[in-house]
């Protein structure tokens, strides 16, 4: 990694993500806190991918962090703090690689912020939507059991079930409508589309994230 450049290499990791934001009274230094987490890496037997503790890498390489989901729970100051220290480590396990990230910075004059992110390997839960390929569009629609009550008069479409555990929050059906459907990614703000006419059904579902 070269500070202030685009040379930071990023990888995409899918798994169970746990983020902790810690506050620490500033009777410690970011250096001392950072070295403690370096000891954690050693105790875990993990590989240290990025070490910006003893030698500061500057704030620019953290630009990727502000584009990530983890920032919503951040205890990290969003200004240009020259005293920011961070670590990224990878631990190999029988179930796959576990990733750790720590960002330590001065939040206020009397407080240090620690953002800890752990990504554990976990397979995506698939096959949550069933499909009936043989059914005719005109057949009578039936209601699938939901965790919460669907809005009045709503039905699942006969071709496709709802995502398991979801319930209907919006339902519209029109005997005839015209819809423009994108067929490719937009280029120079121009999106290729096709026009489709026919009976239209719009169903809105909510799914509890628990």
Confidence at residue 172, expressed as pLDDT on a 0 to 100 scale: 92
Are residues 162 and 93 part of one domain?
no
Strands 85-93 and 47-52: antiparallel
Residue 1 lies in a domain: no
Q: Is residue 110 part of a domain?
A: yes
Residue 8 lies in a domain: no
The predicted structure's pLDDT at residue 32: 92
20 lies in the same domain as 114: yes
Domain boundary among 76, 104, 121: 121
Looking at the fold, whether 194 and 174 belong to one and the same domain comes out as: yes
pLDDT score of 2: 41
Note whether residue 134 is domain-resident.
Answer: yes
Spatial CB neighbours of 184, under 8 Å, sequence gap ≥ 6: 191, 192
- 10-residue mean pLDDT series, the chain (210 residues): 56 84 85 95 93 78 59 52 84 93 82 89 84 64 62 90 90 89 85 90 84
Q: What is the pLDDT of residue 74?
A: 56
| Number of domains the chain contains | 2
Residue 132: per-residue pLDDT: 79
Q: What pLDDT, on the 0 to 100 scale, is given for residue 42?
A: 95
Domain boundary among 91, 106, 121: 121
The enclosing domain of 117 has a CATH number of 3.30.310
Q: Are 204 and 168 in contact (CB under 8 A)?
A: yes
Give the gyration radius of the chain's Cα atoms: 25
Q: Which residue range is the domain that position 111 belongs to?
A: 15-121
Judgement on whether residues 132 and 117 belong to the same structural domain of the protein: no
Q: Give me the pLDDT at residue 62, please.
A: 64
The domain boundary, picked from 70, 94, 121, lies at: 121
Q: How far apart are CA 178 and CA 82, in angstroms?
A: 56
pTM of this structure: 0.59
Domain contains 209: yes
């Amino acid at each position: 990694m070269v500070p202030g450049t685009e040379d930071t290499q990023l990888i995409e990791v899918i798994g169970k993500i746990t983020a902790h934001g810690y506050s620490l009274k500033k009777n410690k230094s970011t250096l001392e806190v950072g070295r403690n987490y370096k000891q954690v890496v050693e105790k875990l037997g993990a590989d240290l991918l990025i070490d910006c503790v003893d030698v500061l890498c500057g704030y620019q390489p953290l630009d990727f962090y502000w584009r990530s989901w983890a920032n919503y729970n951040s205890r990290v100051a969003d200004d240009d703090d020259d005293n920011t220290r961070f670590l990224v480590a990878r631990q190999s396990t029988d179930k796959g690689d576990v990733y750790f990230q720590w960002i330590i910075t001065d939040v206020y004059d009397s407080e240090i912020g620690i953002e800890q992110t752990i990504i554990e390997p976990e397979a995506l839960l698939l096959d949550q939507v069933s499909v009936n390929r043989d059914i005719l569009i005109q057949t009578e629609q039936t209601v699938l059991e939901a965790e919460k009550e669907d809005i009045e008069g709503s039905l699942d479409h006969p071709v496709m079930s709802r995502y398991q555990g979801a319930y209907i929050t919006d339902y519209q059906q029109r005997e005839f409508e015209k819809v423009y459907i994108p067929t490719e990614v937009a280029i120079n703000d121009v999106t290729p589309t096709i026009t489709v006419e026919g009976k239209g059904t719009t169903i809105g579902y909510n799914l509890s994230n628990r």
